Structure 1
Amino acid sequence: MKQTWKNGLPTAPDYFPIGVWLQSPENASRYGAAGINLYVALWQGPTEKQLTALKAAKMRVICEQNAVGLTHKDDPIIAAWMHGDEPDNAQAVTDPVTGKKGWGPCVPPAKIVADYQKLRATDPTRPILLNLGQGVANDDWKGRGAGAKLSDYETYVQGGDIVSFDVYPAANNLPLGLVAKGVDRLVGWTGGKTRIWNCLECTRIDGKTKATPRQVRNETWRAIIHGSRGLIYFVHQFQPKFNEHALLDDPEMLASVTATNKQIRELAAVINSPRGKRRTQNGVEMLVVEHQGANYIFAAATGDTTVTAELDPCGKIEVLGEGRTVSGSDTFAPNDVHLYRITG
C-alpha cells in the first residue's frame, strides 16, 4: 500500500478518497460541496468535453484508458485508470445465431490479471482500480454465473492496485454487515498489501427498500473500521423513475452524507494511521488508533438492540461532533456510530 505513482492520487496523510460512481461532470461542483473529491467512471468516456468540465470543477477522475484518456497521460485530472466493473459477475452475451440475449460466465480471473498488466504497461504512472461485485461478501449471490467459485477472488485481486467491491444490503434486505465482511475478505485476499475501497448505497436504486441515513453512516464507518481506505457512493435510482443523481435530490440523505464526509476528511490522518487496532465489545465494533498523543475510537453498533459498550476506564472521553463527553462507556442504539477522542 506504500507504492506511489507520479500521476496518481494524493499521498498526503490527511487525504481520503471519497468518490461518486458514473456521474455527469456538470454536477461535479455540487458533489464537491458534499465533500466528494473524486469521480469514478464516466459514461462512454472519457471525452474531451467531460475532462474539460471536471477540470473546471477541480474534480479528479478515475476513467477508462481509451484513446482520449491516453492523450491526457500527462494531465493530472486523471488520477487512476478504471479496470472495468464487476467482472466477477455473469456477463451479458448474445447468441450469434438467434440474437437472443442472455448471461454467460464471469470473466476468467486470469484474463483480468493479464489485462491489468497491459494497462500498467501502457501507463505505469497511475494505479488501476478494479471494482468487483457483491459476490465478494454475499455467499448467497446467484449472479456470478456457472462455474464461479469463491477462490476465484484470490486471483481477481491481483488485477488492480486498488481493489473495490459493491454490495447494497439495505436496498436488498440483506444484513448491513456484508459491507464490513467484504472489506475483511479483500484485506485478507490481498494480504493487506493492496489498497481496499468499497461502494456505498444511498438511494432507492431499484424502487424497493431504501437505506436510511443512519444505515448509510453505519455502513460507512464499519467499512473504515474494517480497513477500507476509499469510498465510492452509488447514487443512481432506476425505479420507479430513473434518476442518475438521486442523492442530489434527497435533502435528508444529502445532508447526512455531507456531514459524514466532513468528519472523514477531518479525521483522515487518524484513519490513515497504521497503528489502529480493532476489537468488538458487546455488539459494538471499534477501531482504536493512537495519533499525535491522543487515542481515537471509531465505534459502530452491529445489532438490533440498544447496548452499552466499555470504551476506556480512564478519564473523560470527548464524543466528536456531538458536543458531549462520556466516562468509561457509552450507549449504542441500533445503527449508532460514535467517534471519540481521549487525551491525557
Structure 2
Amino acid sequence: MADDRGTSRRRFLTLAAGTAIASGVAPVASARTAGMAGAPTSPTSPTERGGPMAPDPYARWENGPCPRPDPAYFPIGVWLQDPALAPQYQQAGINLYVGLWQGPTEEQLTTLAGYGMSVLADQNDVGLGREAAGPLVGWTQMDEPDNAQPLPGGGYGPPVDPAVIADRYHRMVSADRTRPVLLNLGRGVADDDWIGRGPDASLDDYPKYVGGADIVSFDVYPVADGLPLWLVAKGLDRLRAWCGRDKIIWNFVETTNISGNNQVTPHQFRAEVWMSLIHGSRGILYFVHRFAPEFDAARLLHDPQMLAAVTATNALIHRLAPVLNRPSLPGAVEVTGSDAAVPIDTMVKRLTGVTYVFAVAMRDASTVGHFVLGGAAAGASRVEVVAEDRTVAVSRGRFSDAFDGYGVHIYRIVHPR
C-alpha cells in the first residue's frame, strides 16, 4: 500500500515515533499508469454480491464486537487514533477504534471505556488482564504481513511467511477464545502490478494468510496512489473467495490525501464505501492520517468537507444497517447500462415488505442504468431514491436512472399489497 510518497501506514509509525519499525513495505511506485477505463471489473456475479451472510456473525465471541444479536449493529472504525478523540469520532458515526499506539495500556483502555468506544488492539498482558465488560472487543494481528519486510542491514526482503501468521493466530486464540482476531492485508490483495510485496511473493500466499484470523481486511487507497477506484471491489471479491463463509471481511477506505497531491473527494469517498458494501464488506475502517505537506494524525477531524461527507455516509450506513445485515437476493434485479464500458454493480436486500437495490457505477464516466425488478418488487409503481429526495417511475417492473461517473444510488421499493 506504499509508494515513494509514503502512503504506507508504517511510514506514519516511523514519522510519529522516529524509531525503527518491525515491518514495512518497500518505497516503490505502482506499475499501473493510464488506460484504466476499459479494464475489466471484478468477476463477481451480480447474484453473489453482498457476500455470504451469516446471521449475527459476531455472536460466536462472548466478548466480541456484538455478542448479542443486534440487526442494527454495523462496525465503522478508525485506525490508530488518540483515545481522547473518541467523542469527536463518535459524533461522526464511528463506533470502533482499531489499534492503539504502543498499547493497549491501562490508561488508553480506561479512556475508551469512559467514552463507550470499543477497540481492537494488540494482544498483551494488559489487554488479557482486563475484565470482560471493558472496551476491548478483539485482537489485531501483525499489520500487512503480505508486504515486503525491511532487512536489518537496509533494503527490503520477502513478505512474512504465512505459517508465521497462522502460528501467531493459534497462540492468540489459545490465550483468549472470547474475542476475534483481525488480520489486515495490503494493496497486493487487489493490485496485481504492486511490486511492494517483495521477492518470492505470490497470490497463492493469500489463502494461507487468511487462515490466521477470524476477521480479514485489506487496504488499497486508489485516489492517493493514482489507481482506479474499482480495485476496492476487486480486492473484496478476492477476499471473499479466499475466506469462504467462515470468516468476516472488512476493508479500509481513504479519507485524506495521505501524502501526495491527490485528495479523495466526497464523491469518490462515497463510491469507495458503497463499492465496499456492495462487494461484501461487513465493516468499514477509515484511514484518516496525513503525512504531507504537514503531519496530521487526525486529518479527517480537521477537514470540514470530508468530515461532513464521512458523517453523512456513516449515518446512512447505520440507518440501513438492518437492511445491510440481511441476506442478498439472487436474481432479484437485472441491470444493463447505456455504456457497456461502465458496468453498474448491484446488491439487493429485502426487509419487511421492502426491497432495496444498492447500485454503483464502476467507472469514472456517466451512464444510464436500465433495471428490471423481479419477485415481489416487480409490481411497484414507483421507486424512492434514498437520501436524494426524489422518486423514479416504474413500468411493468422496469425503470431507468442516470449515473454520474462513480455514481451511487440506493433504491427503496415498497411491495404492492
TM (norm. structure 1) is 0.95
| Cα distance in structure 2, aligned partners of 1:120 and 1:250 | 39
1:219 to partner: Cα distance = 0.5
Secondary structure at 1:84 match in 2: coil
The ranges of structure 1 where at least 4 consecutive aligned residues each deviate by more than 6 angstroms after the TM superposition are: none
**Quick check: which one's strand share is greater?**
1
- Kindly indicate whether residue 63 of structure 2 is the aligned counterpart of residue 63 of structure 1: no
Distance 2:230 2:103 in 1: 34
Shift in Å, 1:206: 1.1
Say whether residues 1:333 and 2:401 are aligned partners.
no
Please name the residue that 1:144 is paired with. 197
Structure-to-structure mapping, 1:235-274, within 5 angstroms: 235-274=288-327
Query: Bigger relative contact order, structure 1 or 2, given CA contacts below 8 A and separation 6+?
Result: 2
Report how far residue 281 of structure 1 moved: 3.0
- 1:193-219: CA deviation from partner (whole Å, max 9, x where unpaired): 210000000101012311111001000
2:348 corresponds to 1:293: no
SS of alignment partner, residue 286 of structure 1 = strand
* Partner of residue 172 from structure 1, selected from 222, 225, 244: 225
Tell me the secondary structure at the aligned position of residue 28 of structure 1.
helix
Name the SS of the counterpart of 1:215 in structure 2. helix
- 1:281 is the counterpart of 2:339: no
Corresponding residue of 2:385 = 319
Q: Which residue of 1 aligns with 2:280?
A: 227
TM-score by length of structure 2 reads: 0.79
Measured after TM superposition, the shift of residue 305 of structure 1 is 2.3
Is 1:160 aligned with 2:245? no
Report the equivalent of 1:32: 90
Q: Structure 1 vs Structure 2: percent identity of aligned residues?
A: 50
> For structure 1, which runs of at least 5 residues remain unmatched after alignment?
96-100
Q: Residues 5 and 336 of structure 1: is their aligned pair in 2 closer, same or farther, counting only changes over 3 Å?
A: same
CA distance in 1 between counterparts of 2:234 and 2:76 reads 20
Q: Is the Cα contact below 8 Å between 1:73 and 1:123 reproduced in 2?
A: no
Residues 270-322 of structure 1 deviation map (CA, whole Å, 9 limit, x = unaligned): 11111344866322111111211110011111123221112346410001111
RMSD across aligned positions (CA): 1.4
Q: What residue identity is the alignment partner of 1:8?
A: G
* Residues in 1 aligned to 2:263 and 2:392: alpha-carbon distance in whole angstroms: 33
| Distance (whole Å) between structure 1 residues aligned to residue 303 and residue 141 of structure 2 | 30
Of the structure 1 ranges 277-286 and 324-333, higher mean CA displacement relative to structure 2 is found in 277-286
Out of 314-323 and 196-205, give the one that drifted further.
Answer: 314-323
| Unaligned runs of at least 5 residues, structure 2 | 1-53, 338-342, 394-398
Q: Offset at 1:226?
A: 0.6
Aligned residues between the structures:
339
Give the match for residue 77 of structure 1: 135
**Distance in 1 between the 2:236 and 2:363 partners?**
19
For residue 7 of structure 1, the aligned residue among 55, 59, 63 is 63
